[in-house]
Chain A
Amino acid sequence: MPSRMNYAPSEPASQGAFSGAQQRARERAVQQALRGRGAPTRDNAADAPTKGTAMTVLSRYSEPMRDHAEPKGLTYRPPTELAIEVSHLRKSYGPTVAVDDVSFSVGSGEIFGVIGPNGAGKTTAVECVGGLRTRDSGTVSVLGLDPQSERGALRQVVGTQLQEGSMPVRLRVSELVGLFASFYPHPADTSDLLDLLGLASKRNAYYGRLSGGQKQRVAIALALVGRPKVAILDELTTGLDPQARRDTWELVASIRDQGVTVVLVTHFMDEAERLCDRVMLVEHGQVVALDTPAMLAQRHGGGTRLSFRPSQPFEDSLLTGLPEVRGLQHEGGRVVVNGTGDLLGVVVHALDGAGVEPHNADLTTASLEDAFLRLTSRPKAAQPREVSS
């Protein structure tokens, strides 16, 4: 549907969500910094999706397009208008406490990730938000509605994709989506929606004949067909191949751009890192950390590492005096600097001032996965090398 495309690649709206291959982005940032053009930017316009997968299908929302001028990252400020407010949420199944005093809020139009080990209580928490489970205590408000006492109104505006489950096998894809569309007052155009999810060629196929990835996409279609204002997506891309995952991320970013608030439960750290504005890490039913993926990675992931071969020797104090630098080692002919924040920018600037050129620079940033592994208490993961002889 290229003619209906409203997804301009150069628009700031597409920045941040899809940084393309991390390696390329990193190289470009390094090159830019080395060329002396100042701090690295997150200018990923070249990597922005150029396919005509416009979200015109779901575009009849009343909200205006969100302003994405601020690229997300360390300085991300959540929207002031809140879509979801949860405070002191508690839910137990018999003696097992699944969610224990969880509080968080999600801004309108945010993509909010919920991550954590298996059995951490992620699904229970979001199902209390979606009105699928009855909480024991605490308060929950979704667009001003209580998921328990105002279930009827809530279901008109919340679209849910459940973690597991399937549909009657002898229904065709178009029949299923059409059935669910009939449940909502202003549904999306079902055939456009199927196009968008790459299911157009499967519209007459029986649900039971679909592959796992296709079934997953049907589940996403059913969650979105009612044009929800809040979408709860539980394990969105489980079972999808890499290309389908990327397409799905693109889709989620696009629906957010239409003003939809997205709550995303995932155990893929790359998914949370690329897609989510903020991420809540849950373990044993409690919130362990809640921040932007970049901030979580920086604070808890072990920092940034920059290594290069200097064009000429220099005093270590040139760099160790910088507030961003935590440590400096010499490895062969290379200098390895560990630190935080805009390490690359300040190091390059300092070297430039001393007339030193960094060659073959390599920047490694701590990932959300590093932070995840450090934050979740898993004794075996802490020392994986002990096993080998």
Chain B
Amino acid sequence: MTTAVPVPVPRPSARSLRRLIATETKLAYRVPVGLALGVVVPVLLLVIFGLSPGFKKPVNPHTTITFMDDYVPVLMALTLALIALVSLPIPMVMNRERKYLRRLSATPVAPVWLLGAQVAVNLVMAVVAMGTIVGGGVLFFDIKAPGNVGGFILAVILATASLFALGLFIAAVSPSPPVAGVLGTVVLYPLLYFAGLWAPRQNMAPALRHIGDFTPLGSAAQSILSSLQGAFPATHALIVMGVWAVVFSAAAVRLFRWE
């Protein structure tokens, strides 16, 4: 037998890629779990909290920063986490379970391109959600526009990368859709805690806040908050998100099961 030559994954035609992305887009609104979690829920929360009088008050007497200003980064982190940990991995695991990925591997288009299309569709959803929260907050609920635009964009990109890597890792190791659902939820809730969804970060015990600094959502909320308020995000927060992104995407690539 000849020695096995590593076969490069051939790049599909632009027509195939357009078709794959169009198909996944249709599925995203026909099975609107991702849209509901990633866009509708955050918008509802934004409106509910935005209309609550308490949230319009300054967090302390010496500043103009309101509770709403403080809450928007948490809401953005929550949204990214719901898209990345629920909307992204579960359809991938379903496609593996129904042997759709295997079927694709019998065509000239390798199944990795389907995953790429799914990542692209969820990224678009994340961008739309981020824009809606910040734009809607600024327009209707008097939150302050990002003071450090470069820092804000960098923080959102790294937050997205780290959470999508985590979502792909869940897709890689989950043997079935229910397992992916459970795994996503189990990861989601502690992360949301560290982001400050239930208790503001400044009210956390120092030890917990310190742990939170090493989680992607804690870092995300923190760096988005500082960029909204005009500062460049803390370097350590950006590094933490970068490390999560690299480690978990590498692990996802290594561990992904195609069948």
A168 pairs with B100, CB closer than 8 A: yes
A164 pairs with B1, CB closer than 8 A: no
A156 pairs with B108, CB closer than 8 A: yes
Chain B minimum-CB-distance residue to A151: B7
Give the residues in chain A near B105, CB-CB below 8 Å: 132
Chain B minimum-CB-distance residue to A160: B106
Report if A244 contacts B (CB, 8 A).
no
A148 pairs with B98, CB closer than 8 A: no
B103 pairs with A222, CB closer than 8 A: yes
Report if B205 contacts A (CB, 8 A).
no
CA distance A162 to B109 in the complex (A): 16
B118 to chain A, nearest CB (A): 11
Give the residues in chain A near B10, CB-CB below 8 Å: 152
Report if B5 contacts A (CB, 8 A).
yes
Give the residues in chain B near A180, CB-CB below 8 Å: 107
Chain A minimum-CB-distance residue to B18: A182
CA distance A10 to B105 in the complex (A): 41
B7 pairs with A152, CB closer than 8 A: yes
- The 8 Å CB contact of A183, one of B95, B102, B109, is B109
Q: Per-residue CB proximity of B85-105 to A under 8 Å, as 1/0?
A: 000000100110011101101
Report if B236 contacts A (CB, 8 A).
no
Considering only residues 124-152 of chain A, those with a C-beta below 8 Å from chain B are 130-132, 134, 137-139, 146, 148-152
Give the residues in chain A near B185, CB-CB below 8 Å: none
Give the residues in chain A near B15, CB-CB below 8 Å: 182
A16 to chain B, nearest CB (A): 30
Give the residues in chain A near B124, CB-CB below 8 Å: none
A162 pairs with B107, CB closer than 8 A: no
Give the residues in chain B near A168, CB-CB below 8 Å: 27, 91, 94-95, 98, 100
Report if B52 contacts A (CB, 8 A).
no
CA distance A149 to B1 in the complex (A): 11
A183 pairs with B12, CB closer than 8 A: yes
With A171-B23, A175-B26 known as contacts, the answer to whether A165 contacts B99 (CB < 8 A) is yes
Considering only residues 123-179 of chain B, those with a C-beta below 8 Å from chain A are none
Report if B62 contacts A (CB, 8 A).
no
CA distance A152 to B108 in the complex (A): 6
Inter-chain residue pair count (beta carbon < 8 A): 81
A184 pairs with B106, CB closer than 8 A: no
Report if A155 contacts B (CB, 8 A).
yes
CA distance A166 to B31 in the complex (A): 17
CA distance A139 to B1 in the complex (A): 7
Report if A178 contacts B (CB, 8 A).
yes
Report if A226 contacts B (CB, 8 A).
yes
Considering only residues 15-68 of chain B, those with a C-beta below 8 Å from chain A are 15-16, 18-20, 23, 26-27, 30-31
Report if B207 contacts A (CB, 8 A).
no
Of B2, B5, B106, most A-chain CB atoms within 10 Å:
B106
Give the residues in chain A near B99, CB-CB below 8 Å: 162, 164-166
Chain A minimum-CB-distance residue to B7: A151
A82 to chain B, nearest CB (A): 19
A130 pairs with B23, CB closer than 8 A: no
CA distance A164 to B10 in the complex (A): 26
Considering only residues 160-198 of chain A, those with a C-beta below 8 Å from chain B are 160, 162, 164-168, 170-171, 175, 178-180, 182-185
- The 8 Å CB contact of B98, one of A166, A184, A222, is A166
CA distance A134 to B109 in the complex (A): 18
With A155-B108, A171-B26 known as contacts, the answer to whether A182 contacts B16 (CB < 8 A) is yes
A175 pairs with B23, CB closer than 8 A: yes
Please give me the 8 A-B residue pairs with the lowest Cβ-Cβ distance, nearest first: A165-B99, A160-B106, A182-B19, A170-B30, A152-B10, A155-B108, A183-B109, A166-B98
Task: Give the A-binding residues of B (Cβ under 8 A).
Answer: 1-2, 4-5, 7-8, 10, 12-13, 15-16, 18-20, 23, 26-27, 30-31, 91, 94-95, 98-100, 102-103, 105-109
| Sample of 28 A–B contacts (CB below 8 Å) | A131-B106, A132-B102, A134-B4, A137-B1, A148-B7, A149-B2, A149-B5, A155-B106, A155-B107, A155-B108, A156-B108, A162-B99, A162-B103, A162-B106, A165-B102, A166-B99, A167-B103, A168-B27, A168-B100, A170-B31, A171-B27, A175-B26, A178-B19, A179-B23, A182-B16, A182-B18, A183-B12, A183-B109
